[in-house]
Amino acid sequence: MGWQDRDYARRGPTPRPVWSHGPSFGHGGRSIVTILIVINVAVYVLSALSVTLAELVFVSCAMQADAVVHGQVWRLVTAQYLHASTFHLLLNMIGLHFLGRPLERMWSARRFFTIYTLCGLFGNVFYTVLGVRGVIDPLMPAVGASGSIYGLLGIVAVLFPTATVYIYFLFPMRIRTVALIFGGIALLRVLERGANYGGEACHLAGLVFGVWWAMKGDTWWATRGRGWWTRTKSRWGSPRRTRRVPKPRGFSAKIAERREDAETIDRILKKVYDKGIHSLTEAEKRALKEATERQRQREEEAGRVDRL
């Protein structure tokens, strides 16, 4: 019997699923997806209100391969917050909203922001490489968050391939199919040097990075990335913590883990029902989050279908 079948689980408040709406971290905290949308919209509106400001921002912050090679590396990031038109901005922010919120609820805000930025960064680095090699004009400016958005699309397509999205809010389609179509279109335009092929190259690179992260990123984070983050924090006076990389487990170990997770969730949720959520310690909150995440992953592997 799962923890959902316990009496207190049926009578008490139902824990919010990963795909529900609302902020995902902290009591009264702000969603990082909302913050990113606000920043993008604010930059666009301010630029639209002042021609002088728009020229200054685009000249100094837009992607330009030649400028990056000559040391203006901040363009690799700042270009992600600039957009060429209202329609361009609208499409990217819709993508960020629908693709980003589920991932933010699954991860932490800091982790989501890091991966989101890396997707766009990888796309812009690829754009720079093409400019250096003469495939695109190295002086051609480029702006937009599409590299990051395509990266999120790749991540969701791998983690939740059977999730359903509605193209133009009308036509249902599997997210994996959407990623393949968008990736194929981008690849064809790059090969044929069609309309906006430099931007499409950035999109394609972001998509590839997102797929890689969904397949290998957690392993990298556990073995290298988390260690780098811990070392960085220790230099600033935070206690340094190490984490052992788990070894592959057999079937009996997985069964034992499943039983231990069920007991952990059962015990903590009973305490929540009896004494309220504020009675939990930080260790109990962390244990509940980790156990719930492992259970969610097992349910997905068993064939559960989620909708974005």
Helix/strand/coil for 17: coil
* Amino acid identity, position 101: R
pLDDT for 278 equals: 77
pLDDT higher than threshold 70 for residue 171: yes
DSSP summary character for residue 83: -
Torsion of CA 166, 32, 71, 44, to 10 degrees: 70
Q: Considering only CA atoms, which of 269, 264, 262 is closest in space to residue 14?
A: 269
pLDDT, mean over the chain: 79
Distance from C-alpha of 303 to C-alpha of 2, rounded to nearest angstrom? 17
What is the average pLDDT across 157-168? 84
Lowest model confidence (mean pLDDT) among 189-193, 228-232, 260-264: 228-232
Lowest model confidence (mean pLDDT) among 34-43, 170-179, 197-206: 170-179
Most confident of 68-77, 163-172, 255-264: 68-77
pLDDT in tens, 116-159: 999 999 999 999 999 998 888 888 889 999 999 999 999 999 99
How is 150-168 classified by DSSP, letter by letter? HHHHHHHHHHSTT-EEEET
pLDDT for 89 equals: 94
Cβ–Cβ < 8 Å for 34, 101: no
Exposed e or buried b per residue across 131-140, where buried means at least 16 C-beta atoms within 10 angstroms of its C-beta: beeebbebee
Q: Which two tokens stand for residue 104?
A: 């933010």
pLDDT for 252 equals: 61
Cβ–Cβ < 8 Å for 140, 131: yes
pLDDT higher than threshold 60 for residue 109: yes
pLDDT band at 1 (very low <50, low <70, confident <90, very high): very low
Residues near 213 by beta carbon (within 8 Å), at least 6 away in sequence? 115, 118, 119, 151, 154, 155
pLDDT for 264 equals: 82
Cβ–Cβ < 8 Å for 207, 179: yes
Lowest model confidence (mean pLDDT) among 10-14, 21-25, 243-247: 21-25
Strands 164-167 and 171-174: antiparallel
What is the average pLDDT across 268-273? 80
pLDDT in tens, 210-258: 999 998 887 776 666 555 444 444 444 444 444 454 554 555 666 777 7
What is the average pLDDT across 72-88? 93
Sketch out the chain's domains with CATH numbers.
32-230 (1.20.1540.10), 249-308 (no CATH)
pLDDT band at 27 (very low <50, low <70, confident <90, very high): very low
C-alpha distances in Å from residue 190, one per residue of 54, 92, 130, 152:
29, 20, 11, 20
Q: Which residue has the higher pLDDT, 236 or 295?
A: 295
Distance from C-alpha of 174 to C-alpha of 158, rounded to nearest angstrom? 11
pLDDT for 158 equals: 92
Q: Which residue has the higher pLDDT, 172 or 32?
A: 32
pLDDT band at 275 (very low <50, low <70, confident <90, very high): confident
Percent of the chain with pLDDT over 70: 75
| Cα angle: 154, vertex 86, 19; to 5 degrees | 40
